[in-house]
Amino acid sequence: MKNKQNLSMLLGIVLTSILAIIFLLGSFFGTQDPFYINMANRLSSSSAHHLLGTDHMGRDIFARIVYGAKLTIGLGLLIILLAMCIGLPIGLLSGYIGGKVDAFFMRVIDGILAFPDFILAIAIAGILGPSLTNIVIAIVLVKWIVYARVVRGLVLEEKQKEFVLASRLSYSSTFHTIRLHIIPQIFSEIVVMAAIDIGKIILLISSFSYIGIGAQAPLPEWGAMLNEGRSFFQVHPSLMLYPGIAILLTVLCCNLLGDGLKGYFKTGKRRNLL
Amino acid sequence: MIGSRLSQLFIMIFVLSFLTFLLMKITPGDPIRSILKVDDVSVTTEKEEQLKKEYGFDEPILKQYGEWIINVVQFDLGESLISKKPVSELILERLPATLALAMGGLTVLFLISIPLGVVSALYENRWPDYISRWFALVGASIPSFWLGLLLMYFFSLKLQWLPMMGRGTFAHFVLPSFTLGIAMAPIYITLLRERLITILESPYIEAAKARGISKRRILFFHALRGSLIPLITMFGLSLGSLLGGLSVIEILFSWPGMGELIVQGVTQRDYPLIQGFIIVIGFLIVLTNLLVDLLYMVINPQVQQGKEARV
């Protein structure tokens, strides 16, 4: 078990590094413009000039994948940060203070959580209108709830422990107790969750873009690229191959790292106990 | 129990519908203009005012919301802004196709995840375990629509075994069902594996072994039964994501289900349709959660006596 988890960590780090190197090299040394249309050279196969060939409008696929990487990974990180900024304080306070506030809050949250995030995001995106920004807002609105819920549960558990009681008995302020005694305890769980969630968010964004309510046409988001290439996939499967592989590998990295971190924190905790 | 589920339904639908209602009112986009655009008439102020009155958009928000809720209680979800048909009719028309596809996906899900989970637990840390864990890992990382595209490419385009899209014969079922089933399988494989490993080490399995009961019997009658409850819980929880995942797959395979309908509604900003969809999905989720509760009772009689199920 232990070996396997270290293996996920190792694989995750190796794969992430490889992808990072490719994307960084591509974005700093790539000479192709991801938006440059050249109808004379459409659907060409890979060459020294166009590493992965060109798409149905003669745009360089590699440049578009690299641009999409910046976009997708950046948005994934942004969404997770925003969701945590809203979810963590609310979950912390709700769990720590407890009482009626907590009860009311959890009722509402459970009601919303019973709803699938995808459908909720569709509904929000539908109301705000289909665009990449609105999808980001929609996913943040959906994701913070999960964080608030999980953090609250963890806080309830930690609150019962002796060191928290000791801190409260010694007249430490609420803020002080939460910062010093609760946050370090729940930190590892949240990091693991966030790592895996970034992968899920990337999948969500690309799915939304694929069905046409996320990133719109010229923007090289991976899902949107797949959507654009859809009608050519019979003749030129490479149009649908590369963006898909990019999504798969990126999400795989997140899952491997999340898995590895889980194992890392587990063994770390055990060491502390001994 | 039924009472608490029903109250959950009301709270959920009340909160969600009110939030969506509020959001619709404060967002900049204007449904009146999109109606006018569809009707292809030149946008004039009088026409806009007239339509606003017709749809009641000039009333205060709370009043509009109140009227909407009263209609919903009478199973009237309003009229689609675009096609002018009743929303309930539009959704009911699409419901059978979606449910059929969901059933197909669930069948594939069970056919994949139970064998893989069992094999993984029985051969822990040996090659069958590694294969099924890699399957779960990759399955959790692959975008479902891309998986569907790949399946389409190989089985419809290259091998020409199955039709590419549309609905009608049994063959049309196969690819979408497999896409859905494979996309959902990873959580179940992991859960079943972990649960089975714990159970196989527990005293009652040791006792059964000591009594000389065959391995196969222990697995199927003792261990698998014990791991059903968390699987059913997971099923109840992931039913929503099943419905969500369905809409992407429906669009990919041009499957005429609810998901396709709602995405159309979203791109055309057909508010009554979106709201009606939320209500129907909420209803479906509460209904299935109720079924899951009933299943618990059948499997674990302790629940019936009001005790918490040990999960």
SS3 A116: coil
Q: What is the pLDDT of residue A1?
A: 44
Angle, CA of A149, A152 and A155, to the nearest 5°: 150
Instruction: Write out pLDDT tens, residues A176-209.
Output: 777 777 787 788 888 888 988 999 999 989 988 8
Comparing CB atoms, the residue among B271, B274, B285 nearest residue A114 is B285
Contacts of B242 in chain A (CB under 8 A): 116
Measured distance CA(A62)–CA(A45) in Å, rounded: 12
Q: Does residue B70 surpass a pLDDT of 70? A: yes
Provide the pLDDT for residue B53. 66
Read off the DSSP letter of residue B308. Answer: P
Q: Which amino acid is at A167?
A: S
- Residues in A touching B140 (Cβ below 8 Å): 199, 251, 255
Question: Is residue B188 pLDDT above 80, yes or no?
Answer: yes
A69 CA to chain B: closest CA distance, Å? 15
Position with higher pLDDT, A234 vs B253:
B253
A247 touches chain B (CB under 8 A): yes
Tokens of B11: 């709270």
- Cα(A205)–Cα(A70) distance, integer angstroms: 13
The predicted pLDDT at position B309 comes to: 40
Residue B242 to residue B1: CA distance in whole angstroms: 24
Residue-by-residue DSSP string for A179-192: IIIIHHHHHHHHHH
Which of B21, B145, B268, B281 has the most A C-beta neighbours within 10 Å, making it the best mutation to test the interface with A? B145
- Residue among A114, A211, A252 minimizing CB distance to B263: A211
**Is A122 in contact with B244 (Cβ distance < 8 A)?**
yes
Q: Which residues of B touch A211 (CB under 8 A)?
A: 145, 247-248, 251, 263
- Beta carbons of B146 and A248 less than 8 Å apart: yes
Q: What share of chain B is helix, strand, coil (3-state, %, to 5)?
A: 80, 0, 20
* Token duo for residue B307: 């005790």
The nearest CA of chain A is from the CA of B265 a distance in Å of 7
Which residue(s) pair with B86 in the sheet? Answer: B79
Higher-confidence residue of B124 and A250: namely: A250
**Helix pair A61-97, A2-29: axis angle to 10 deg:** 130
Over residues A28-76, the pLDDT tens digits come to 777 777 777 776 776 677 776 666 777 777 777 788 888 888 888 999 9
Using CA coordinates, name the residue in chain A closest to B258. A119
Average pLDDT in chain B: 77
Amino acid letter, residue B311? V
Distance CA B227, CA B196 (A): 6
Among A127, A206, A259, the residue with its CB nearest the CB of B143 is A206
Residue of B nearest to A130 (CA): B267
Site from B34, B141, B250 to mutate, A interface, most A CB atoms within 10 angstroms: B141
* pLDDT in the model for residue B27: 60
What confidence score (pLDDT) does residue A2 get? 47
- Please give the average per-residue pLDDT across B228-253, as a whole number: 78
The structure tokens 């009112």 sit at: B25
Question: Smallest Cβ distance to B143: which of A125, A203, A213?
Answer: A203
Q: Sorting pLDDT into bands at 50, 70 and 90, what band is A247?
A: very high
Which residues of A, range 76-115, sit inside 8 Å of B by Cβ?
Answer: 107-108, 110-112, 114-115
Task: Provide the pLDDT for residue B35.
Answer: 59
Residues of A in contact with B201 (CB under 8 A): none
Query: Which residues in chain A touch residue B239, judged by CB atoms under 8 angstroms apart?
Result: 116
CA distance B118 to A258: 24
Nearest Cα residue in chain B from A254:
B141
Q: Which of A115, A124, A143, A204 is the best substitution to test chain B (most B C-beta atoms within 10 A)?
A: A115
Give residues with Cβ within 8 angstroms of B266, minimum separation 6: A122, A125, A126, A130, A213, B274
Q: How far apart are the first and last CA of chain B?
A: 18
The phi-psi region of residue A232 (left if phi > 0; otherwise alpha if psi is between -120 and 50; otherwise beta) is: alpha
Q: Give the model's confidence band at A101: pLDDT under 50 very low, under 70 low, under 90 confident, else very high.
A: confident
How far is residue A158's CA from residue A181's CA, in Å, rounded to a whole number? 9
Cα four-point dihedral sign B41, B46, B48, B51: negative
Partner-chain contact A129 B16, CB within 8 Å: no
How many A-B residue pairs are in contact by the CB < 8 A criterion? 148
Q: What is the pLDDT of residues A106-134, one digit of tens each?
A: 777 776 776 677 777 777 777 777 788 88
pLDDT of residue A271: 46
Say whether A248 and B138 touch across the interface (CB within 8 A): yes
Is A52 within 8 Å of A110 (Cβ atoms)?
Answer: no
Residue A170: is its pLDDT beyond 60?
yes
Torsion angle defined by CA atoms of residues B283, B286, B289 and B293, in that order, rounded to the nearest 10 degrees? -120
Q: What is the pLDDT of residues B205-214, one digit of tens each?
A: 888 888 888 7
Is B145–A240 a contact, with Cβ atoms under 8 angstroms apart?
no
